[in-house]
Structure 1
Amino acid sequence: MALAYTFGGGMAMEAPGRALYDSFPAIRDWFAQVAEWTGISPDRILTEDFTAAFHSGDVSAHPDLRFVAEARQAAYSIGIADVLADRGIRPDIIGGSSLGFQIGATIAGAIDRREFFEYLRHATSSPLHPEGEPPQGIAVCVVPHDEGVEGFIGGRAGVDLACEIGQFIDGRNGMYMFSGYVDALRELAAEKPAGLVNVVTVLGGGHSPLQQFRHDWIAPHVAGMTFTDPAVPLVSGLSDRKLTTAGEVRADLLANSITTTRMAHVIRGLEREGTQLALVLGVSSGAGMFVFPFQVFPVVAPADFEAVGSAVYEAGIPLGAR
């Protein structure tokens, strides 16, 4: 029986509040370290809210917005892992999609923590689209199973499947992210019932062949990073294979920007390794919304730390073996 940590993609646009920070000295110390490396104060991580910009309809965002939102997501997830480790709780395997995979690789020791935040700064400073080309964006979509992804974007120029986020527990719908040219995404939204397609233009695109320019932007930086074999096996959203070497982690980090990522890959990989319980660390839309073949337990608030030990015990996972 295995205990997994799992992380979704995306970034933390909303201000998460002070509850975890005020409750755990380990998180306060960690945020101070993040502030030293990045120049992002703990107060910004805790209180700055980007949701207005997220829904603004603008076709560009200051790189600082993207950097702070991604660094916040990473800082919270890594800090939660540190608190769990202090309590003797460590994973047998880690799975994540997109930014979640990168965070998981850092927790697994495959990427140095400081180098990871330096990578985030570089990656989020890239242009949102090549000069002279139309702006790109993403669309988060609820896709009915009887229509499927092909019913949304089959044959549509300028739109790609970027991410399979999850299958809703209602058994009728899935959540997906599409990436492409803003005008094409807005046309798609206009053709579908209200609320099914939500276009976000402020962050650019992702996980699409149209993002080759971003791949080329980060490639020289990634080439200069130090990767080590992960102390804990990893599963990324790019395939359901188990990653155990530094080279495999590097390859998936580099391919992430131009390749469709799927939580189904993560779930299959974790299930194959005998996952009985997955702790969902930090901000994630997955716990409680989507279908998993094993128990999932979110760890996002101080009270969750009191209950997580019982969840591990009830799942029959022996902590002493770690």
Structure 2
Amino acid sequence: MALGYLFGGGVGTEPRGLELYQAYAVMRDLYGRISEWTGLSTGQLLDGELPEAREERQSVGSIREAALALAVHDILAEQGLHPEVLGGLSLGAMTASSLAGAVGRRELIAMLAHGAHAPGPEADAPGQGMALAFAPDGTDVAALAEHRPGVHLSGDFGPTVDGSARILMLSGERTALEAMAAELPPGLITPLPDRPIAVHSPLRADFRAFMAPHIDAMDFREPVLPLASCLEPRTLTTAEDVRDLFHRNATDPISLVDVHTRMAAEGVRLGLVIGGSIPDGILRLSFPVVHVDRPEHLEQVLTTVYELGIDLPDRRVTP
């Protein structure tokens, strides 16, 4: 039975990881290196205010989230825990790619830092936004979104534990999302405040084009560990598979269902969830999981690994 690491996506707008930073030297060492690579202080990486400018805020928040994910991996490695299968959503997929040996950590962080220089939208462009849909069983939100100009299905988080609803993510023009929410039954669509970027939608085409030359110049390698895609139900096996994921991530919809079902097919029987965008205890996943972002979670991880009899071969990947 294999141990899998499942990384959430999103941008680290809320401070997390301070207790881990204080408790583990390996995390302090990593944050010191990332600070040298980016010019960001450790305070900015941990709990500092994010920049106001849209793309710069997205960039720094992404670096913050990736740094925490890498640090949790390194802390677990000190405890003798190493993943056999990796997967993630969006930013989490790119972080997982690095931990699978497909791209260097410094290159990953440099790519996220490069995004800060992307040009913002034109002054007269429609405002962008995101929303979550809590679709009761039998409600086809994807079909509803398909026929609404300015609204795009951008993510599928799958069914809730009790099967009563499916949680989806919508992205698009803010006014179109708000209009859709107002016209449908209350609670079905919830626009998210302070989310001014229509992630995983065609509205990010300009950002994808800006990032393309940088991604083309990156040194991708064949993953050493099985790496589940969040863009389709498959395992990425070549360097070009991973490069393609990095290119498409900005504009293509993501699926948590594709990730965890593929990880289960690769033998995962316990997943460690790293990253705040995968809520604890709400979604139905293909294997039991333990969320890890506080020191006290480590004891729970070790206990669960022992109780389930998870194999722990030493499959280290060079950072």
Normalising by structure 1, report the TM-score: 0.91
> How far 1:130 sits from its partner (Å)?
5.1
> How far 1:286 sits from its partner (Å)?
3.3
> How far 1:179 sits from its partner (Å)?
1.2
CA deviation string 1:180-230 (max 9, x = no partner)? 112211211222344441234643112112322122111111011111112
Distance 1:114 1:203, change over 3 A: farther
Find the counterpart in structure 2 of residue 119 from structure 1: 111
C-alpha separation in 2, matches of 1:115 and 1:102: 11
Question: Is the 1:139–1:178 Cα contact (8 Å) retained in structure 2?
Answer: yes
Distance 1:210 1:46, change over 3 A: closer
Name the SS for the 2:303 alignment partner.
helix
Give the letter for the 2:192 counterpart. Answer: V
Question: Is the 1:4–1:270 Cα contact (8 Å) retained in structure 2?
Answer: yes
Give the letter for the 1:121 counterpart. Answer: A
Question: Is the 2:290–2:300 Cα contact (8 Å) retained in structure 1?
Answer: no
> How far 1:232 sits from its partner (Å)?
1.2
Deviating more after overlay: 195-204 vs 105-114 = 195-204
> How far 1:247 sits from its partner (Å)?
1.0
Deviating more after overlay: 110-119 vs 281-290 = 281-290
Normalising by structure 2, report the TM-score: 0.91
Find the counterpart in structure 2 of residue 142 from structure 1: 134
The percentage of aligned residue pairs carrying the same residue is 35
> How far 1:239 sits from its partner (Å)?
1.1
Distance 1:258 1:146, change over 3 A: same
Find the counterpart in structure 1 of residue 256 from structure 2: 263
Find the counterpart in structure 2 of residue 37 from structure 1: 37
Q: Does 2:173 match 1:181? A: yes
Find the counterpart in structure 2 of residue 21 from structure 1: 21
CA deviation string 1:55-113 (max 9, x = no partner)? xxxxx844332122111110001000011112221111101111110111111121111
Mapping of 1:158-197 within 5 angstroms? Answer: 158-195=150-187, 196-197=189-190
C-alpha separation in 1, matches of 2:262 and 2:213: 30
Find the counterpart in structure 2 of residue 70 from structure 1: 62
Name the SS for the 2:154 alignment partner.
strand
C-alpha separation in 2, matches of 1:104 and 1:68: 18
C-alpha separation in 1, matches of 2:177 and 2:84: 40
Which ranges in structure 1 are unaligned for 5 or more consecutive residues?
54-59
Distance 1:285 1:49, change over 3 A: farther
Name the SS for the 1:115 alignment partner.
helix
Question: Is the 2:2–2:311 Cα contact (8 Å) retained in structure 1?
Answer: no
C-alpha separation in 1, matches of 2:8 and 2:304: 21
Deviating more after overlay: 146-155 vs 109-118 = 146-155
Give the letter for the 1:36 counterpart. Answer: E
Question: Is the 1:128–1:204 Cα contact (8 Å) retained in structure 2?
Answer: no
Find the counterpart in structure 2 of residue 296 from structure 1: 289
Give the letter for the 1:318 counterpart. Answer: D
C-alpha separation in 2, matches of 1:45 and 1:225: 24
C-alpha separation in 2, matches of 1:230 and 1:93: 11
Question: Is the 2:146–2:153 Cα contact (8 Å) retained in structure 1?
Answer: no
> How far 1:282 sits from its partner (Å)?
3.3
Distance 1:114 1:17, change over 3 A: closer
CA deviation string 1:13-50 (max 9, x = no partner)? 11125210011000011111111111221112222356
Find the counterpart in structure 2 of residue 57 from structure 1: none
CA deviation string 1:122-150 (max 9, x = no partner)? 22432343565323222222222222214
Give the letter for the 2:85 counterpart. Answer: I
C-alpha separation in 1, matches of 2:62 and 2:183: 32
C-alpha separation in 1, matches of 2:70 and 2:213: 26
Give the letter for the 1:271 counterpart. Answer: A
> How far 1:151 sits from its partner (Å)?
5.7
C-alpha separation in 1, matches of 2:39 and 2:314: 39
One of 202, 216, 227 as aligned partner of 2:220: 227
Distance 1:274 1:209, change over 3 A: same
